[in-house]
Amino acid sequence: MKQTKTLKVRVRDKHAALLQQMARSVNCVWNYLNELSARSIRERGRFLSAFDLHPYTKGANKELGLHSQTLQEITREYVTRRKQFKKSRLNWRKSGGVRRSLGWIPINTGAARWKNGQVYHNGHYFKVWDSYGLSQYSFRSGSFNEDARGRWYFNVVVEVEAVVPAGQDKIGIDLGLKDTATCSDGTKLEAGRFYRDLEPKLAIAQRARNKKRVKAIHVKIANRRKDALHKFTRQLVNRAGAIYVGNVKSSSLTQTKMAKSVLDAGWGLLKTMLEYKCAGAGIVFKAVNEAYTTQTCSNCGALPDSRPKGIAGLGIREWTCSACGVRHDRDINAAKNMLAVGHGRPVVGIPVL
């Protein structure tokens, strides 16, 4: 069975100037489409589709130094985002200044290929650190992308053989701040380890206004977080047949005093990784309602008087059910309840007979 996968490889720094030039041309096309679309809506009350916009950019690839299919991809992406955000005009892509847009050069299927040990696109060869053996793949759509430090990466979609894990465990996951994720079987991913030891160095760089160093530290923190989440989610997917996670929204908690811890925990990234890895492995993944999962006893299904309640109960990490006498770890109990909800049992009201 075949499935698609996106591979990301680093482009050598010597190509940065050429890619920056191409990225400025991409921004020019984007802004032109943005103004054209807004003017059509303002003057004629009509939204232009990708089919309507293509003729306005046809033939401009030679003057702009872009591949003709790149122009088509820019148009398609612009229309997609305009529909997604339901706006008549999107933000401008800025090529300079403090708030400049990070470089982006989209590539359609067939517009890039592996040739002479390098990525060949638009008449240019780009050397990359090939950590995947790209010669064995046929490239589909992709893009060149720049990060905050000015480094460029080549991202490409390829087809790979799907490996279906034999795991049959059913796992509920509770998302938290003390531990980023707690599974119903007791497995935990510790939180707060991604940036704690780098905080002093980050503070020194920020006070010295060393922007280059600040960006490097932030990237290191982000890479640590991604590495930990990738390893944790891969282990879960390899041994599970069904995964259920709470539907907590990190966006609502980023407006509170817990914002720093919430952003560092990376709940959204964790759920995204689980979702696409489960889809690729043919595993059930579902976000379930986490209401009362912390307060309900996972053994008897009751809401005992001894349960942790409200803000005052956040510091209670272990509690004993006054109804059945079972002692619970707060997070593991919540994860077990999410597993039960995933199986179709209401959180409250059905005791275990």
Are residues 341 and 296 in contact, defined by beta-carbon separation less than 8 angstroms?
no
pLDDT of residue 293: 85
C-alpha distances out from residue 69 to 51, 121, 129, Å? 14, 11, 25
DSSP string, 170-239: EEEEEE-SSEEEEETTS-EEESSTTTGGGHHHHHHHHHTT-HHHHHHHHHHHHHHHHHHHHHHHHHHHHH
pLDDT mean for each 10 residues of the chain (353 residues): 88 96 97 95 91 93 94 96 91 92 95 95 96 93 94 94 78 88 89 78 95 92 90 92 88 79 84 90 88 85 79 75 85 89 63 43
pLDDT of residue 312: 62
How crowded is residue 92: how many other Cβ atoms within 10 Å of its Cβ? 12
Map out the domains of the chain as residue ranges.
2-161, 165-345
Fold of 165-345: Nucleotidyltransferase; domain 5 (3.30.420)
State both tokens at 275.
Answer: 């979702």
